[in-house]
Amino acid sequence: MTRFRWLSAVLVVLGGFAMALPVPSRSFAADSVVAARLGKDPRAGAEARKGDGVSPLREAKSALVDFRSAPFPYLGIIPDKDIPFLDVSDGPRRGHTSGRGGVYWLDETYSDRRSLIYLPAGFDLRRPAVIVVFFHGNNATLSRDVAGRQRVPAQLAASGLNAVLVAPQFAVDALDSSAGNFWTPGAFDRFLREAAGRIAEVYGVPDERLAFERLPVVIVAYSGGYDPAAYAVALGGADRRIRGLILLDGLYDEEDKVADWIAHYRKTIFFFSAFSPSSAGSNQTLQGLLGARHVTYGSGLPNRLTPGTVAFFATDPDTDHDEFVTQAWVPNPLAWVLARIPGYKR
């Protein structure tokens, strides 16, 4: 556990921060209405998932955990380019040429199999719950940026959502948005199935793996996280579990994949994209593709992210892309968005 001490210290600090953030209240009756639309009853779901020794968490739990099904290392072909991902060698070392960052090496940049798993205090597996999968952007690490600088665990805790956070490491501290193994059909589903067991272990109830394997999923992608997000919804194999996609200044390509997914599942999923001028062009492209597919969408901040919601929001032109996860149209925008998902009150 020594390798988790720094991260644990960060999350202790963030836990205090989370307590200071406002947590919107929602009625159980309202939650029940939305839950019914998703094909489940909150009270029945609680009973169905109840297991021996399961109780609400008294304090948050977190860990950096190795995954067999991690995005990297990736030894395959880059989709649409038909060239090997690892295209450079220097003696025994192998590397990848990134369009913006130059050459990055497999042993330094593409070998971290870890994912951050975080369960907030009060998480209760007996109640309706959801898994939030966070795809980070470029030049990021899980400890320094996702947990520390962007305060993703603290924002999830502050949202009041009865949710678990899973954040896989992609290219380590690099100008590279590559999805790695998530380019492979079915890979995202395999990742989620493995995550169920890993979450159960961190939670302290390893026998409840199947309960976590049944939970619905919401994907949140920031910046360079757009690439794995697009492939996850397009061919990740977890279609029946994905309830929503949230993009935080996170669309720079692959608009057709996102448009096809929204058009196909529009009645059962929600989609929300908030963007600065940095990704405005791709968001406009996606809107055009949705229009061609006869998908109605809104422009503005949604009050609730319910099935059928498709919304875009252009932030102030001066919004800083690099700080978008913590300061956009409001401070702590991730907490703001997650708090608007009804049916999963903690």
- Tens digit of pLDDT for each residue in 158-167? 999 999 999 9
For 43, the token pair is 């009270």
List the CATH code of the domain at 2-68+113-338.
3.40.50.1820
**What pLDDT sits at residue 80?**
86
Q: Distance (Å, rounded) from C-alpha 196 to C-alpha 209?
A: 5
Is a pLDDT exceeding 70 seen at residue 172?
Answer: yes
**What pLDDT sits at residue 54?**
82
- In this prediction, residues 308-329 reach a mean pLDDT of 98
Q: Distance (Å, rounded) from C-alpha 105 to C-alpha 95?
A: 4
User: What's the pLDDT tens digit per position in 265-291?
Assistant: 999 999 999 999 999 999 999 999 999
For CATH 3.40.50.1820, list the domain ranges present in the chain. Answer: 2-68+113-338
Beta partners for 271?
245, 310
From the CB of residue 135, how many other CB atoms can be counted at a distance below 10 Å? 29
3-state SS, residue 117: strand
User: What's the pLDDT tens digit per position in 66-98?
Assistant: 999 999 999 999 998 999 999 999 999 999 999
**What pLDDT sits at residue 53?**
60
**What pLDDT sits at residue 331?**
98
For 177, the token pair is 């948005």
